[in-house]
Structure 1
């Protein structure tokens, strides 16, 4: 389900049926991408980066299935004039930049520091979305400050920011397709071949994953996402998942719970995710994640009715990529 912005909703209310563009299966990815771009622009992310200064705020989620492991910087750019982005050296800390076009195809994905020039010829649409993710330990205030410093060191140069002009997509046909695709989207077991450039994606998986708006990392060698829907996801049945001490990743792994609409469900426990840094480990070094049940348990995550979870494996090693290592699945508590 797309994070249609307040600004877009306002324009829809002011428009008449004659000046809206119907949303069909053929243009839905573009319409949804525009909704996501508008949401970023409304927050000050047009022609510059909008820096989220901590992990994604639950009360103001920019898009669906946002992670709680990285701090985001978003920007939408009119490529009538090229834009140059310079990424600082983050050392051993994970940092990535994804550049997508208006059709949700990923045109550039990098994890190395350096200077990158983004042009309309490269992206193949007038507007490009830039998403930068930097890993953070939200429980460590000093770590948060270090990431904020990295954000401040990102440099963006453009001769002129241009203007942001997108079609007035019809809200009714948009919602019909968005609701239907959101339901199908949750059935994807993994997002391999769902994100990337035209020649990299499976067309069916790409379309089914298009409700995400802001696309994910394109290559499984860079990040592998696993999506799981427990059979008894009524929000009352507790589940457990025990993760090995040494998951074969070079960056990080995480588990995050979302509601049936693909958003984080606000809860009084502020319990949404666990990763290899924030987790409390068992005596043998493994991590036991508790989905629902007693909120005083270590690594507790709140589970709303209709919940599902996503496993993120960033920079997975060969055993994950070739399938010899299988991340465990949550099981109901007996």
Structure 2
């Protein structure tokens, strides 16, 4: 791809509202279609890993499997895992009818159970914020299905992902959280395992054949009709038709060029507006509408992100975009009267960055992957202020107690999570202090 084509690709990604290129050529159609299909592909890939046991959570369709230990460096099934909650995961198939979800009483303990359609939108989030801490039984229905009872929730695609997060207050709390997990239940038909689909690195023809099959299994909303009109040159239809044989070698070369442009455009996606050294989530995080480029970027770097009312994810501005490359130390200081305003909890998590733009926890001397409002042993100032020291090596002295270790080498980034953010954080009246050189 030449410089002019790259600039055009980046401009398409940066267009207002995440609009895709309007050019109807085969190359532009392939670019738009690859980005549109990426969330479907990432969902299918993550589902396959879970059902076959890669990532340590083998299971069956319409059945929960539980992670019994907090995420660590071995946790590679989902990008950017948190280190605050235990996950419980169930892959849904509602083609044989609704399923019944049971959530146990959790009292004041934070829990969320997010129901994501196959396009990665959160169709519903149950738990502390919405249905309360008393638990209950809920009927999950699919498109066109009827449900009875006062607690019916709907998934907008026949297949989807149910992901529960239960707060853990340290290692001594694990047994109590395991009891909560054991109270989570799903009853309904056990569907057969799904077929295998191509991954995002697959050749274009294989990729689009898989996207077509996923479209057929999970029809897109009618509001995506304009997208399919724009990609008509590619021949990928909303009802899941794609004829690879119609494209001769010259056409396939154009398609591959469009895919390359899509990959380049994806690297330019930003999570949201920046202010004071942090980027803040866009208002449509977790419910993307027609913001296809943003949706694709989140599917790659933060699959299963919750909507802002449930959790806000803030990323720092480093010396290389979102990335830091220096050794540190860096410091994040919260004044005593300016602690993050949340009704659940907050944490700052360290990640190493992969060349593909995914983020994972990394081994360090302390076995500490995050610092938050529940981290034991942190040193605070006399006025209640808190300094978090970020460095590749121990910053020494009084700083050691508040050290968040960075990877020994390579780029790294951080994610600040605020669960159940209060209005002043949601509307921007409160801003995080910048991370600065120490």
TM-score tier by shorter-chain length is 0.7 to 0.9
User: Comparing 173-182 with 41-50, which one deviates more in the overlay?
Assistant: 173-182
Q: CA deviation at 1:32?
A: 1.1
Is 1:222 the counterpart of 2:310? The answer is yes
Deviations 1:176-200 (A, max 9, x none): 689757743566523333533354x
SS in 1 for 2:268: helix
- After TM superposition, list the pairs within 5 Å mapping 1:254-273 onto structure 2: 254-261=347-354, 262-273=359-370
Q: CA deviation at 1:33?
A: 1.2
Question: In the alignment, is the contact (CA less than 8 A) between 1:63 and 1:214 conserved in 2?
Answer: yes
Structure 1 residues 168 and 260: CA distance shift in structure 2, 3 A? closer
SS in 1 for 2:319: coil
Aligned residue number for residue 147 of structure 1: 177
Where in structure 1 are there 5+ consecutive unaligned residues? 1-21
Q: Output the CA distance in 2 between the equivalents of 1:247 and 1:151.
A: 28
Query: Equivalent of 1:209, from 292, 298, 316?
Result: 298
Q: TM-score, normalised by structure 2?
A: 0.64
Q: Output the CA distance in 2 between the equivalents of 1:83 and 1:213.
A: 27
- After TM superposition, list the pairs within 5 Å mapping 1:277-296 onto structure 2: 277-279=374-376, 280-283=378-381, 284-292=383-391, 293-294=393-394
Greater Rg, structure 1 or structure 2? 2
Higher helix share: 2
Structure 1 residues 99 and 223: CA distance shift in structure 2, 3 A? same
Across the aligned residues of Structure 1 and Structure 2, the Cα RMSD in angstroms comes to 2.6
Question: In the alignment, is the contact (CA less than 8 A) between 2:94 and 2:141 conserved in 1?
Answer: yes
Structure 1 residues 68 and 186: CA distance shift in structure 2, 3 A? farther
Q: Output the CA distance in 2 between the equivalents of 1:289 and 1:309.
A: 12
Aligned residue number for residue 88 of structure 2: 73
Aligned residue number for residue 123 of structure 1: 155
Deviations 1:226-247 (A, max 9, x none): 0114227224121011124442
Question: In the alignment, is the contact (CA less than 8 A) between 1:36 and 1:214 conserved in 2?
Answer: no
Q: Output the CA distance in 1 between the equivalents of 2:60 and 2:262.
A: 24
Q: Output the CA distance in 2 between the equivalents of 1:185 and 1:230.
A: 16
Question: In the alignment, is the contact (CA less than 8 A) between 2:99 and 2:141 conserved in 1?
Answer: yes
Aligned residue number for residue 404 of structure 2: 301
Structure 1 residues 170 and 186: CA distance shift in structure 2, 3 A? closer
User: Comparing 256-265 with 171-180, which one deviates more in the overlay?
Assistant: 171-180
Is 1:236 the counterpart of 2:330? The answer is no
Structure 1 residues 190 and 27: CA distance shift in structure 2, 3 A? same
Is 1:88 the counterpart of 2:193? The answer is no
Aligned residue number for residue 283 of structure 2: 193
Q: Output the CA distance in 2 between the equivalents of 1:267 and 1:204.
A: 34
Question: In the alignment, is the contact (CA less than 8 A) between 1:229 and 1:309 conserved in 2?
Answer: no
Q: Output the CA distance in 1 between the equivalents of 2:164 and 2:123.
A: 14
Q: Output the CA distance in 1 between the equivalents of 2:364 and 2:264.
A: 26
Q: Output the CA distance in 2 between the equivalents of 1:125 and 1:77.
A: 10
Q: How many residues align?
A: 308
Q: Output the CA distance in 1 between the equivalents of 2:295 and 2:313.
A: 14
Deviations 1:5-62 (A, max 9, x none): xxxxxxxxxxxxxxxxx98223111111111111221222332111001211321322
Q: Output the CA distance in 2 between the equivalents of 1:45 and 1:28.
A: 24
Deviations 1:61-91 (A, max 9, x none): 2211100011111111221232211111111
Q: Output the CA distance in 2 between the equivalents of 1:241 and 1:36.
A: 34
